[in-house]
Structure 1
């Protein structure tokens, strides 16, 4: 009787653990991927000249 109870509780626990690991990430993954990221670049911080170029 104890062996049957062990395997049934082990199976239920393993199933619950797998569902706990799989289901929350499916719900949150959709919310994160829908957001658009806006990156603002400071034009004063960009240097377009090469450093150490030829002096012509």
Structure 2
């Protein structure tokens, strides 16, 4: 829940970019996203997760 909230807040502030979240149990999840606005001005969010560990 916290990850999604942080992601949505990041989208609202930046429009596009990447954010890294560190879960309490360890590890890192990197979410990269961008917003595309279609002809009806409805914003759709494209999101994917980088499965590779960072810094290794």
Greater fraction of residues in helix: 1
Q: Per the shorter chain, which TM-score range?
A: under 0.3
Q: Please give the TM-score of this superposition, normalised by the length of structure 2.
A: 0.25
Greater fraction of residues in strand: 2
Q: Please give the TM-score of this superposition, normalised by the length of structure 1.
A: 0.25
Larger radius of gyration: 1
Return the structure number with greater relative CO, CA threshold 8 A, min gap 6: 2
